[in-house]
Amino acid sequence: MQEKNNIPEFNRETLELVNQIIKRYPVGRQKSALLPVLHIAQSENSGWLSPEMMDYVASLLDIQSIEVYEVASFYSMFNLKPVGNCVIEVCHTGPCWLNGAEKIIAHFEERLGIKPGETTADGKFTLKTVECLAACGNAPVIQVGTEYHENLTTEKADNLLEKWRSENKISHTNPYL
């Protein structure tokens, strides 16, 4: 992403992808592309949607900014505030709870020194609790970017943390690629 005077702008490849997506909907219904384009926009903006980025998306789809804000604030996958490089989302709904999700959450809290909703001081990790990820047979489950990690144990969590730390994991990659 390039920025001129704080106005975000996608590069040519990303714009091509956006235009390809817009063509999936009938002429005049380009607003339909809003969710897919917001996913891309978030990945291009360090994992969150700034007002400037949402205004840019509105201009791409030729809709009002408010139409973007009201949608972005409705869906739980869109972050309206900055997040860490690697967002760890732990499911805590019934089936994951039955299989020890609370222990997993407590473990991440302890290892990262933060509570759900918070980001580590070095900006590397954000911890979130989320509702059902539809992988209940392999509970407990966490999501990082577009990856699922299933049948989680505290040992597995430690291994993952170590790996993410050493590779400076970034979870907000373009989900289409």
The terminus-to-terminus CA distance of the chain in angstroms comes to: 16
Strand partners, 103: none
Choose the stretch contacting other proteins; rule: CB under 8 A; options: 9-17, 108-116, 137-145, 162-170: 137-145
State yes or no: residue 98 binds other proteins (CB under 8 A).
yes
CA-CA distance, 19 to 9, in Å (whole number)?
14
State yes or no: residue 70 binds other proteins (CB under 8 A).
yes
State yes or no: residue 27 binds other proteins (CB under 8 A).
no
CB count within 10 Å of CB 112 equals 18
C-alpha of 81 from chain center: 11
- Please list, in sequence order, all residues whose beta carbon lies within 8 angstroms of the beta carbon of residue 107, skipping any fewer than 6 positions away: 154, 157
For 142, the token pair is 């966490």
CA-CA distance, 33 to 22, in Å (whole number)?
6
User: Binding other proteins by CB under 8 A: which of 76, 121, 122, 155?
Assistant: 76
Q: How many residues bind to other proteins according to rule CB under 8 A?
A: 44
User: Binding other proteins by CB under 8 A: which of 14, 50, 119, 143?
Assistant: 143
State yes or no: residue 103 binds other proteins (CB under 8 A).
no
CB of 6 to other proteins, least distance (A): 25
Give residues in contact with other proteins (CB under 8 A): 24, 26, 29, 31-36, 38-39, 61, 63, 67, 70-71, 74-78, 92-95, 97-99, 130-139, 143, 146-148, 175-176
